[in-house]
Amino acid sequence: MKINKRFILSFVAPLMIFVSAIGLIFRQSSRKIFYLPIGLMGFVIILEKGISRKMDRKNILKKIKSYQKVK
């Protein structure tokens, strides 16, 4: 069975946030700061995907509408 790379990579951002949360909860106080960048990058990846998907949908809708006006 062939595994899709995009399917596996879709779990990276939630896994980063999960690792960050676990690190912040269970590590000693001096080492907690090292888990913040991992969590922030996970949030940024999720937000960027949502924003880019929304922008792509708007662009596709504009192209469809402009094509209908030409006819």
Q: Each residue of 7-35: b (16+ CB within 10 Å) or e? A: eeeeeebeebbeebeebbeeeeeeeeeeb
Segment 12-40 mean pLDDT: 89
Question: Distance between CA 42 and CA 28 in Å, rounded?
Answer: 22
56 alpha-carbon distance from chain centroid: 15
Q: Which residue has the tokens 């006006």?
A: 69
Q: Residue 67 above 70 pLDDT?
A: yes
pLDDT digits (tens, 9 = 90+) for 1-25: 577 777 777 889 999 999 999 999 9
| Ranges of each domain in the chain | 5-70
Q: What was the pLDDT predicted at 4?
A: 74
- What distance in Å separates the CA atoms of residue 47 and residue 29, rounded to the nearest whole number? 28
